[in-house]
C-alpha cells in the first residue's frame, strides 16, 4: 500500500506528502532516534511522538516510507517545511501508538 492510499483509508491526516507513491512495507514504533535507525527497516511506517527537526533526518536516512505522529502531536511549520523539502512524508494520528498500529495492521 502506498502512503497516499493509507491516508485515504486510515483515520490519519497528511501533514506533508512530498512522496505520496512511496510503498509501505512494514511498521516500526519508537521514540529513541538511534533505536529507530538501528532497528527500523527501509519502507516502514514509523510511529512516534517525537516531533523535533531531527525526525526528518532520521526518517530520511533510515529510509522510512512515512512518519506517523501519534497522540495528536503536530510538528511545527518549520519542521513540516524541512520534511517537504527532504521528501519525508508526515502523517498525523489522533490515537496513541497502539491504536495507530492497530489501524495500520488492518490495512497492510
- Whole-number minimum distance, CB 48 to another protein, in Å? 8
Q: CA separation (Å) from 76 to 24, 49, 50, 64, 96? A: 25, 13, 12, 20, 19
Among residues 54 and 74, whose Cβ is nearest to another protein? 54
Among residues 66 and 103, whose Cβ is nearest to another protein? 66
User: Given candidates 9, 13, 23, 35, which one binds another protein under the rule CB under 8 A?
Assistant: 35
Contacting positions for another protein (CB under 8 A): 31-35, 37-38, 42, 50, 52-58, 60-63, 86
Amino acid at each position: 500500500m502506498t502512503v497516499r492510499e493509507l491516508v485515504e483509508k486510515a483515520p490519519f491526516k497528511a501533514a506533508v506528502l512530498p512522496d505520496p507513491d512511496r510503498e509501505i512495507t512494514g511498521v516500526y514504533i519508537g521514540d529513541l532516534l538511534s533505536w529507530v535507525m538501528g532497528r527500523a527497516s527501509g519502507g516502514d511506517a514509523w510511529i512516534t511522538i517525537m516531533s523535533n527537526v531531527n525526525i526528518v533526518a532520521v526518517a530520511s536516512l533510515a529510509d522510512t516510507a512515512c512518519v506517523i505522529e501519534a497522540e495528536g502531536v503536530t510538528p511545527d511549520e518549520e519542521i513540516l517545511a524541512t520534511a517537504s523539502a527532504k521528501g519525508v512524508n508526515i502523517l498525523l494520528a489522533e490515537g496513541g501508538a497502539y491504536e495507530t498500529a492497530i489501524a495500520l495492521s488492518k490495512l497492510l
